Structure 1
């Protein structure tokens, strides 16, 4: 409780308000709060509907956040009224809280002091990704509380008579004024760190831009060696755990080479701070030489004679050390220590953010790779029946994290028709790719079992998805290319299709005219069963091309769907004269490059049946031929 009391003066910090608002927005929650728990619950900041509640104090019996503090772990409530842990609490009984998610705020001491929470009046299932996101925001809120508390301590200390002795013999007013200027500079530097995108950029900014603001002639930023798994293993021998230090350019190449990578057991202030998690201060040359024999070489290599090694803490864990060096003695009084701690806390907050981003990118890359591999394994070789030439393309999203549930499929069914499918399962993650595989495979089975028009296939698929507990929503268009004896005599075919909330098929006529087959779409798959679904038909003459595609081909941020459809129509018209492979490649190059969503497209060109199958269409391939082949690589 003492740690929470220490942070209470930080409750009015505007940075906390920004974090609370960010939490409400990112998690699509009605309300968000940053709260501290002492003998009462104090709301430090509010977001969403809770804006304006900062400073509000309530009894612990009227709050859910103490449960997150006690658990010292994320506290997840999907249905508050039915959850015996919270159903008796006032906010739940009054209907204010129907779903609740909280992440504990962990102070630098390692003690849970409060919680960042989001909530809404209706029940809601929280995903693991949402829990992780709130935890990361909670770590940032805890760091912001520590920083704001240090700023408060600093302001108090510089106004205290205890600072009258000043620094380096200067009078108290002069010392306080200079420190106040430095604090302002550190604050502006901390704001600039919000734009830093990766670890290398952060370390360079702290070393080359941040340390000079403290009056340093040099210093370093150090972290465990990321290329050595033992370096992050707390059970490993310190002699086998290595630390990578980025020394400022002012120390020169020789010092950078000598001290760039050393064992954790090295008897220097930086490594003691990394081992113990405590700030290490060495105020003058005599203290340096007394610290360890190795410090004599440090003095000669760096030109510094005073050092402060301050741990960088993220969520109570030491992630690195910033070392400040001066070429003149330092008194390290309360005001200067508050400034150093403020600087380190801001650096640590930025470090936690970029490390979280790096971890998210790495996880997204792995998930996207698995999703894409799963998708490609399901994008099977296409049949080439009679005088039909089928071609497909799949393009992953430019952002790997957006790879999801787009697919295409084509197969022949026993009524003699060729079935074409393009679909898009909602979501952009590994779960979407897995759901896509389930929907695709169930649809294949239904289409073979139900030799009926596409609308009947989709109606049966709705029931199958429910009965098989495939919890996915999907758009799809299912089409059949049909030909009866009368149409065959005239060299014509029929496209019969049904759309479950999917973009319209595109038809390129033989003379190059392009038509979007816009009809009223039916409901998405997976919403309800036994819904009305409708078939639509169009006559297909020889030399025409049909294109099915997913919405990544036409959707763009800030543009309406009709703009995207018009762009597709114009592009298809310009490319209509090309052979089918070049036509598809041109569509992809012009419309799919850089798409924020993945793209699947399936094209079929109908060649005249009174002539031999053209060479550009390749050999005829029937299902029996495909069993001998492996899936094509796109």
Structure 2
């Protein structure tokens, strides 16, 4: 059976615990102590009402603060607060109106108050102090040490001065609310800046380890003193673990922490995996007690203690694609710093989501590169073995984007024993460029095989085929026919807007085969293309390549060709594969594909 007294008690607690009222009280409690303004009001009541004790009090959920006072004995006067059980003013908050009691010993609500015995309080009169919403946050009260009948003028005076206190309270709450809003806006701006910086930084790399390292650096600069990140692409796969600390002197500790945490039996990794499985945030006020106590590994415990294991927060790293947890992030503050706020917890959870997006982007990028590279390799020719002619080739995809593009090389033997070699470059480095490249290469092969025409005539026929078949292509190419001659080799070649072939002679000199420029492939056919003939001594090396090997935005094309000539001269005696490697090494940062074909004429 529910007693009426229980219902009354619940109602009292409900009034005192009203969140809106408590918000106003706590905004005021952050003010100065003692408070000169409220002390002056208490002194005014003391003089005008002639009461030995006068107090401006603020009533919290479990205590009462003496914002202003006169006549209150120590230790209460020094402490400026008392438990709520010692408060007469709480009854004003509950009643919602002024209370004037001649003898509190006769009042059922007040007769058991410990203040009767401790300070001799007998008579009490308290007027409510209200916040901007009219909620009672405290009282202006007078206390006498003997029974007293409070006169109407005294009650009116208390009420008027309580209104003065209410005006001051409203002004202070408004200022505090404005400052809170400013700080909240500033904090929100900082958190958004952090997330924007994190997003930009993670988007700039497709390497998971580098992405998690960047995440750690950004998070420890703005959100936590140190952190540990553990993510895995696959549920049973190896975890990528990294750690970072705000203090650069802790870098060695963090590197060791990541190494130990990556071990299969590490306690810290087990904690992160538990959060990963539960897909929920774990927040503790004291990491040393709540999380640190679970670390049994002695070295791990030592490192985390040196780092400072205070308030901790663990958030899952969630995949937005597969909708499952990929790992977790442990954020830790030192012991002397406060616990994480709700706003910081939200930001940390958002960091986890963006980390998940970065991991998924990396995975999808690797899968795309793998598929594209397989496609590209399938489109490239397997070089034939030809007696007296040694062929070597390289294909390198652009460093940006999918590992597929429009660069290609080819070599095949004609029925008459001559050898056709070609290098070309279809504009673009994507799947569409690769598909066009495959068509173009097959057209070159199909049109040239078994025919004795010069390379210029073959490229002219290719122009007609591309136009007649409506193949949308814009490409450069060099097509050459190599024949044996009595003194070495005869090379006839045609150049459709492509970088010039290079010839490394047996004596180490290098020729650059510049010819008058001719249009790219794929343009409407005009004048017949020309063929240039050169006679090459045995022991020479013909080098065909695409522009990705020589083009640099900050230099002329001639400078890139000059670099290749220098490498050819410096490494003339190297084996073909090694010479290919040396040529590729001097390429600028690859924003384009590279195709390279070496034809050694022995």
Deviation, 1:362, is 0.7
Q: CA deviation at 1:460?
A: 1.5
Residue in 2 that maps onto 1:444: 445
5 Å-filtered alignment, 1:351-366, equals: 351-352=356-357, 354-355=358-359, 357-366=361-370
Partner of 2:268: 256
Q: What does residue range 340-355 of structure 1 map to in structure 2 within 5 Å?
A: 340-342=345-347, 344-345=349-350, 348-349=353-354, 351-352=356-357, 354-355=358-359
Aligned to 1:446, what secondary structure does the other structure show? helix
Kindly state the Cα deviation for residue 518 of structure 1 after the two structures are TM-superposed: 0.8
Alignment check: 8 A CA contact 2:201 2:214 kept: no
Deviations 1:528-553 (A, max 9, x none): 34553122223335555433332233
Residues 1:514 and 2:526 aligned together = no
1:585 matches 2:578: yes
Taking the TM superposition and a 5 Å limit, the aligned residue runs for 1:110-189 are 164=24, 170=30, 173=176, 186=191, 189=194
Q: Which runs of 5+ in 2 are unaligned?
A: 1-19, 32-172, 246-253, 296-308
| Distance in 2 of aligned mates of 1:185 and 1:359 | 30
Cα distance in 2, alignment partners of residues 308 and 449 from structure 1: 70
Asked if 2 retains the 8 angstrom alpha-carbon contact of 1:370 and 1:430, the reply is no
Distance 1:306 1:390 in 2: 64
The Cα of 1:163 is off from its aligned counterpart by 6.1
| Residues 564-585 of structure 1 deviation map (CA, whole Å, 9 limit, x = unaligned) | 1222233334445x3xx63663
TM-score between the two structures when normalised by the length of structure 2: 0.52
Please tell me whether the aligned partners of residues 276 and 316 of structure 2 are also in contact (alpha carbons under 8 angstroms). no
1:348–1:492 CA distance, 2 compared to 1 (3 A) = closer
Give CA deviations for 1:64-99 in whole Å, capped at 9, x if unaligned.
xxxxxxxxxxxxxxxxxxxxxxxxxxxxxxxxxxxx
Task: Point out the more displaced range, 203-212 or 503-512.
Answer: 203-212
Alpha-carbon distance in structure 1 between the residues aligned to 2:567 and 2:462: 34
Aligned Cα root-mean-square deviation (Å): 5.2
Once residues 345 and 592 of structure 1 are traced to their aligned partners in structure 2, the CA distance between those partners, rounded to angstroms, is 41
CA distance in 2, matches of 1:430, 1:247: 39
Q: Which of 198, 217, 227 is residue 234 of structure 2 equivalent to?
A: 227
Give the alignment's TM-score, normalised by structure 1: 0.50
Change (3 A) 1:177 1:600: same
Instruction: Note the 1:319-468 alignment, pairs <5 A.
Output: 337-338=342-343, 340-342=345-347, 344-345=349-350, 348-349=353-354, 351-352=356-357, 354-355=358-359, 357-376=361-380, 378-384=381-387, 388-397=388-397, 399=399, 401-414=402-415, 417-468=418-469
Instruction: Look up the match of 2:74.
Output: none
Cα deviation, residue 217, structure 1: 8.6
Asked if 1:478 is matched to 2:490, the reply is: no
Q: Distance in 1 between matches of 2:584 and 2:242?
A: 46
CA distance 1:459–1:168, change in 2 (3 Å): farther
SS in 1 for 2:429: coil
Alignment of 1:537-548 (within 5 A): 537-541=533-537, 543-548=539-544
Q: Distance in 2 between matches of 1:543 and 1:265?
A: 65
Cα offset, 1:467, TM superposition: 4.6
Which secondary structure does the structure 2 equivalent of 1:383 belong to?
coil
Secondary structure, aligned partner of 1:260: helix
Distance 1:357 1:163, change over 3 A: farther
Gaps of 5+ in 1: 1-159, 231-241, 274-279, 289-295, 606-616, 618-634
Partners of 2:233 and 2:312 lie apart in 1 by: 29
Shift in Å, 1:498: 1.0
Taking the aligned partners of 1:565 and 1:205, their CA distance within structure 2 comes to 38
Q: Is the 8 A contact 1:371 1:404 kept in 2?
A: no
Aligned partners of 1:203 and 1:511: how far apart in 2? Answer: 53
- Seen in structure 2, the aligned counterparts of structure 1 residues 570 and 305 have a Cα distance that, compared at 3 Å, is closer
* Secondary structure of 1:534's aligned partner: coil
Corresponding residue for residue 491 of structure 2: 495
d(CA) in 2 for partners of 1:412 and 1:245?
54
Aligned-pair CA distance for 1:358 = 0.9
State the secondary structure of the residue aligned to 1:562.
helix
Aligned equivalent of 2:599: 603
Query: In the alignment, what sits opposite 2:159?
Result: none
**2:219 maps to what in 1?**
210
How far 1:519 sits from its partner (Å)? 0.9
Match of 2:561 among 529, 545, 565: 565
Q: How many residues align?
A: 399
Deviation at 1:500, TM superposition (A): 1.3
Spell out, residue by residue over 1:300-347, the C-alpha distance to the aligned partner (whole angstroms, 9 max, x if none). 649878979699796997867767788899999xxx544543554466
Deviation at 1:383, TM superposition (A): 2.4
Aligned pair partner of 2:500 in 497, 504, 522: 504
Equivalent-residue separation in structure 2 for 1:370 and 1:418 (angstroms): 27
SS of the residue corresponding to residue 503 of structure 1 reads: coil
Assess if the C-alpha contact under 8 Å between 2:409 and 2:424 holds in 1: yes
Tell me the secondary structure at the aligned position of residue 233 of structure 2. Answer: coil
